[in-house]
Amino acid sequence: MTAFAASVLRVAKRGQLTAGMYSDIIVFDPARVHARASYTAPLVLAEGFELVIVNGIIAREVESLSGKRAGRVLQPELQ
């Protein structure tokens, strides 16, 4: 699913869990995922996400943020 989106958007080295690629991984239980944000509290994190890894760096584990920011805005390769 992500490999197709990355190829359509021409984003290099993304979309697959393969050596030499940049990978972001989210581990979650679909039955436990629930948005807690609201109009008056838009920055409240959702629940049910066990682990979020961005470029190999843990960004969130269970209910706490690591404070590390390993991601960046991706720009598609234009022809």
**pLDDT above 80 (res 44):** yes
**pLDDT above 70 (res 22):** yes
Closest CA to 70 of 48, 53, 47: 53
Can you give the residue ranges of every domain in the chain?
A: 20-69
The pLDDT of 27-48, averaged and rounded, is 92
Distance between CA atoms of 53 and 34, rounded to whole angstroms? Answer: 19
pLDDT for residue 12: 84
Cα torsion 3, 7, 10, 11 to 10°: value is: 10
pTM flag (> 0.85): no
Per the CB < 8 A criterion, the answer to whether 45 and 68 are in contact is no
